[in-house]
A = this chain, B = another copy of it.
Amino acid sequence: MSAGTGPDLDGLPGGVQAAVEAILMVADEPVSEYRIAAALVVPVATVQRVLDRLRAEYDGRAADLGYAGTLEPRGFELRSTGAGWRIYSRSEFAPVVSAFVAEGQTARLSQAALETLAVVAYRQPVSRGRISAIRGVNVDGVVRTLVQRGLIRELERDGESGALRYGTTTLFLEKMGIGSLEELPDIAPHLPGIDQLDHYED
């Protein structure tokens, strides 16, 4: 199955499937099937098939795998977003798992932080002045908190006003479990006509 130049996966215990698993184990960010295929020197379609199979296996979906009996779900799951594939602990075990992840566990965001984050997510690149105008309060402290949490970051300065503008980070996408900003929930149903909003220039 493997091309001549790649490692001899068929000779290894568990074959291609185990090789894909081995890579997933060391990835510390979502990985695409293309990167996996490149490392293993196997066709992307093969990797795609293996990933789908692994996901079903971890979820305990015996029927999808063609097994007659039942299959226990594993304590972890394989998830795919636009950014790629990644191993997560299964959500049901959140209460027992959180104690073991040293830091990086973030406390819940305040209502003010959430609203500011929403404005940045949907209006980026956006300056603090504009966020303030929308929220009707000073947002300096909240913006700082969001930057410290790694959820938003400073982007370029606005050409005209020179104001620093902010956008969301890949960590934000991760926390939302999405691969790109296009996957954000649609805001349109909540908004008045977009033409009205365009009055809100800084």
A residues with a Cβ closer than 8 A to B are: 7, 9, 12-15, 17-29, 31, 35-36, 38-40, 60, 72-76, 87-90, 92-93, 95-97, 99-104, 127-129, 132-133, 136-138, 140-141, 144, 147-150, 153, 163-164, 169, 171, 202
Contact = CB atoms under 8 A, between A and B. Distances in A.
Interface-centre pick from A21, A29, A103, A144 (highest chain B CB count, 10 A): A103
Contact of A97 (B26, B76, B101): B26
Given A18-B93, A99-B39, A138 B144 contact: no
Total identical chains = 2
A56 to B, nearest CB: 14
28 contacts: A7-B99, A13-B72, A13-B73, A13-B90, A14-B60, A14-B73, A14-B75, A22-B89, A22-B93, A22-B96, A23-B97, A25-B97, A26-B88, A27-B101, A28-B144, A29-B102, A35-B103, A36-B100, A39-B99, A39-B103, A103-B140, A132-B150, A136-B147, A136-B148, A137-B148, A138-B148, A138-B150, A138-B169
Contacts of A148: 132-133, 136-138
Contacts of A27: 100-101
B101 A24 contact: no
A75 B149 contact: no
B93 A35 contact: no
B90 A22 contact: yes
Given A7-B95, A18-B75, A35-B103, A149 B138 contact: yes
Contacts of A128: 103-104
Contacts of A60: 13-14
Nearest to A128: B103
Given A76-B22, A148-B138, A163 B102 contact: yes
